[in-house]
C-alpha cells in the first residue's frame, strides 16, 4: 500500500484548509467542527465544502476532558464534535447533545452491525460511530529484545526512562486493571488500590505520561516503547518501519469515537449532511486509509487496500476482540478514578 509521508500530508492539509477558507464567499454557511488533531482528511473536507456550498472550520483538542471542559465553560459555536463513547454518555445525560434526525442520515445503513452491537448508543439516538481503535503497545523492533505481548513490558528495568504511558486516567488505570485480570470499569476499592500500586511501579520506569509526543518520540527513537492508540502507532510506522505494535494478551481498551451534534449547534442540517457524507463507503474507506483508524462502515471494507484489510490491528482476530473492553461512564464512580489519578500524578 502506498502511504503518504505524514509531514507532507500535514503541510498539504494545512494549505488545503487555508485555501478552502480563503476561497469561500462571506455569505456561505460555516460548519464548525471540534475534533482530534489530524482526524479528517483535508481533501474530503474540501470535497464536502464544494458539494454543499459552505465553509468548514476545524478546531482541535487533545483529550475528551479538554473538549468537555471547554464546552462546560461556555464555549459556543460548534456544530459537530467527535468525542469518545464514554464522554458521549456523560454529555447526553447532561443535556449537551441534540437528538439525531435519521431521515437526514440515509447512510446509517452502512454501519457494521458487529461494531454497532458493541456501541453504547445502539439506537444511534444521539451519536454515530466514526472510528474504532484499540489501545496498544508500540515499540522499536530492533532495539527492544524479548518482547512479550503484555503490560508486563512496563516493568522492564532495561527500558527505564525510554517508555511512555497515556496521560489519560481511564486508559492508564485501565491498563493496570487489565494487567491484574480485573475489569477496567471496576468500582471495587481493593482492585483500584492494587492498580494504583502497579501504576506507581510503572511510573518509576516511564519517561512521562503524555498523549501526543509519544508518536514522534517513538518514530525518532527517543522512546523505545509507548502506550498508545492503534491508529497513531500505525501512522508513525510510515516514518519508521522498525515500529512494531502488539495488543497485550491480558486485554485492552476498545474505543469508539462518535460524531455528535451539540445542543448549541447553529448549522444542524449541515452537520447531519457531514455525518452522512462520512458514512458514504468511498469516503469511509478513504478516511480509514488516511488516519489508520477503522471507520466501521461495512461496505467500505471491500474498497480498502489489501494490506489494510488483512492488518491484525485494524481487523483483530476474535480471540483478541474477546479480551477487549470499552470504557463506560461510571456516574458518581468516576470520582474514584479521578481521585486515584490525582494521587498517582502527585506521587514522587
Q: Could you tell me if 323 and 283 lie in one domain?
A: no
Q: Could you tell me if 216 and 277 lie in one domain?
A: no
pLDDT at 21 over 50: no
- pLDDT for 266: 97
11 vs 92, residue with greater confidence: 92
Q: What percent of the chain has pLDDT over 90?
A: 82
**Distance (Å, whole) CA 247 – CA 217:** 20
* Helices 42-52 and 281-291, packing angle to 10 deg: 150
Q: Could you tell me if 192 and 224 lie in one domain?
A: yes
Highest mean pLDDT among 15-19, 257-261, 317-321: 257-261
Q: Could you tell me if 250 and 178 lie in one domain?
A: yes
How do residues 22-74 score in pLDDT, each as one tens digit? 444 468 999 999 999 889 999 999 999 999 999 999 999 988 889 999 999 99
Kindly report the CATH number assigned to the domain that includes residue 326: 3.40.190.10
Q: Residue 99 domain-assigned? A: yes
Q: Residue 1 domain-assigned? A: no
Q: Are 5 and 238 in contact (CB under 8 A)?
A: yes
How do residues 329-339 score in pLDDT, each as one tens digit? 888 899 999 99
pLDDT at 16 over 90: no
Host H or E run for residue 36: strand 30-36
pLDDT at 7 over 70: no
Q: Could you tell me if 161 and 205 lie in one domain?
A: yes
Q: Residue 284 domain-assigned? A: yes
- pLDDT for 282: 98
pLDDT band at 140, cuts 50/70/90? very high
Q: Could you tell me if 203 and 331 lie in one domain?
A: yes
Residue 33 sits in which domain range? 6-130+255-309
Q: What percent of the chain has pLDDT over 70?
A: 92
**Distance (Å, whole) CA 91 – CA 97:** 6
Q: Could you tell me if 338 and 244 lie in one domain?
A: yes
Q: Residue 204 domain-assigned? A: yes
pLDDT at 91 over 90: yes
Number of domains in the chain: 2
Host H or E run for residue 283: helix 281-291
Q: Residue 88 domain-assigned? A: yes
Q: Which residues contact 325 (CB under 8 A, 6 or more apart)?
A: 174, 178, 183, 184, 185, 251, 252, 253, 254
pLDDT band at 212, cuts 50/70/90? confident
Q: Could you tell me if 247 and 259 lie in one domain?
A: no
Q: Is 309 exposed, middle or buried (0-12, 13-18, 19+ CB in 10 A)?
A: middle
Q: Residue 324 domain-assigned? A: yes
Q: What is the mean pLDDT of residues 281-294?
A: 95
Q: Could you tell me if 238 and 303 lie in one domain?
A: no
Q: Could you tell me if 215 and 193 lie in one domain?
A: yes
Q: Residue 151 domain-assigned? A: yes
Q: Could you tell me if 159 and 277 lie in one domain?
A: no
Q: Could you tell me if 31 and 98 lie in one domain?
A: yes
- pLDDT for 26: 62
Q: Residue 75 domain-assigned? A: yes
How do residues 264-277 score in pLDDT, each as one tens digit? 999 999 999 999 99
Can you give the pTM of this predicted structure? 0.80
Amino acid at each position: 500500500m502506498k502511504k503518504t509521508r505524514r509531514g507532507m500530508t500535514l503541510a498539504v492539509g494545512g494549505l488545503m484548509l487555508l485555501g478552502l477558507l480563503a476561497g469561500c464567499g462571506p455569505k456561505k454557511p460555516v460548519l464548525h467542527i471540534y475534533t482530534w488533531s489530524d482526524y479528517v482528511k483535508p481533501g474530503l473536507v474540501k470535497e464536502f465544502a464544494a458539494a454543499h456550498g459552505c465553509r468548514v472550520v476545524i478546531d482541535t483538542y487533545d483529550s475528551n476532558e479538554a473538549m468537555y471542559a471547554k464546552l462546560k465553560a461556555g464555549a459556543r459555536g460548534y456544530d459537530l464534535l467527535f468525542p469518545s463513547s464514554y464522554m458521549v454518555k456523560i454529555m447526553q445525560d447532561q443535556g449537551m447533545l441534540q437528538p439525531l434526525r435519521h431521515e437526514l442520515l440515509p447512510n446509517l445503513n452502512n454501519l457494521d452491525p458487529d461494531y454497532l452491537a458493541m456501541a453504547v448508543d445502539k439506537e444511534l439516538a444521539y451519536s454515530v460511530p466514526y472510528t474504532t481503535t484499540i489501545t496498544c503497545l508500540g515499540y522499536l523492533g530492533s532495539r527492544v529484545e524479548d518482547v512479550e505481548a503484555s503490560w508486563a513490558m512496563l516493568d522492564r528495568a532495561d527500558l527505564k526512562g525510554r517508555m511512555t504511558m497515556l496521560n489519560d486516567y481511564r486508559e492508564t488505570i485501565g491498563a493496570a486493571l487489565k494487567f491484574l485480570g480485573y475489569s477496567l470499569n471496576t468500582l471495587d476499592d481493593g482492585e483500584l488500590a492494587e492498580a494504583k500500586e502497579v501504576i506507581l511501579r510503572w511510573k518509576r520506569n516511564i519517561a512521562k505520561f503524555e498523549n501526543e509526543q509519544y508518536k514522534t518520540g517513538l518514530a525518532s527513537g527517543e522512546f523505545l516503547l509507548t502506550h498508545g492508540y492503534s491508529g497513531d502507532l500505525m501512522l508513525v510506522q510510515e516514518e519508521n518501519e522498525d515500529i512494531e505494535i502488539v495488543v497485550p494478551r491480558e486485554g485492552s481498551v476498545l474505543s469508539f469515537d462518535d460524531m455528535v451534534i451539540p445542543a448549541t449547534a447553529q448549522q444542524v442540517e449541515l452537520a447531519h449532511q457531514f455525518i452522512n457524507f462520512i458514512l458514504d463507503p468511498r469516503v469511509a474507506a478513504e478516511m480509514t486509509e488516511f488516519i489508520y483508524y477503522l471507520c466501521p462502515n461495512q461496505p467500505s471494507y471491500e474498497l480498502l487496500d489489501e494490506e489494510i484489510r488483512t492488518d491484525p490491528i485494524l481487523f483483530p482476530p476474535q480471540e483478541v476482540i474477546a479480551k477487549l473492553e470499552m470504557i463506560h461512564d461510571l456516574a458518581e464512580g468516576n470520582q474514584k478514578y479521578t481521585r486515584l489519578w490525582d494521587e498517582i500524578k502527585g506521587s514522587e
